[in-house]
Amino acid sequence: MSVFGSTPATVMQIRQSVHKLSVAFPQMSQDFFNLLVERIVKTNMSSRRLEYAVNRVLDTFTYKQLTIADILSIDVRCRILSYSEMCNEAARRNASTDDYAPVRIGGSDKPGWVLKVDKARYNIPDEL
């Protein structure tokens, strides 16, 4: 599961993000940025993920040529475990089930379980 949620970026958020990239990479063509916008919309990239991806590229990218995959492939994921998977993993790691936190997904009866450190690090809400 992506830690950035699934609410798609708005048109304004996409415009602002692509503008930042066009300033940072002026050698890239307008056609490239048009195609990037199309792919962001088509993949329903979330606003938080888009912001993270653009900032990461701006802060760490060292090549002259930017590719669409350089933006779309950036994501942070964490595993959501069932109760039995969580118990098995805790036993395998010689850890405690107290190291995990429940997360309800889509109003399901049974929660999924994520590591508490991941929940805190990525600000994962109690219900998705």
Q: Where in the chain are the domains?
A: 11-72, 83-121
What's the distance, CA 32 to chain centroid? 22
pLDDT tens sequence across 10-53: 999 999 999 999 999 999 999 999 999 999 999 999 999 999 99
| Residue 77, phi then psi, degrees to nearest 5 | -120, 150
pTM, entire model: 0.75
The answer, yes or no, to whether residue 123 has pLDDT greater than 90, is no
Instruction: Please report, rounded to a whole number, the percentage of residues in the chain having pLDDT higher than 90.
Output: 73
> What CA–CA distances, in Å, run from 73 to 16, 37, 87?
19, 14, 31
Write down the residue that tokens 């993993």 correspond to.
89
pLDDT tens sequence across 43-57: 999 999 999 999 999
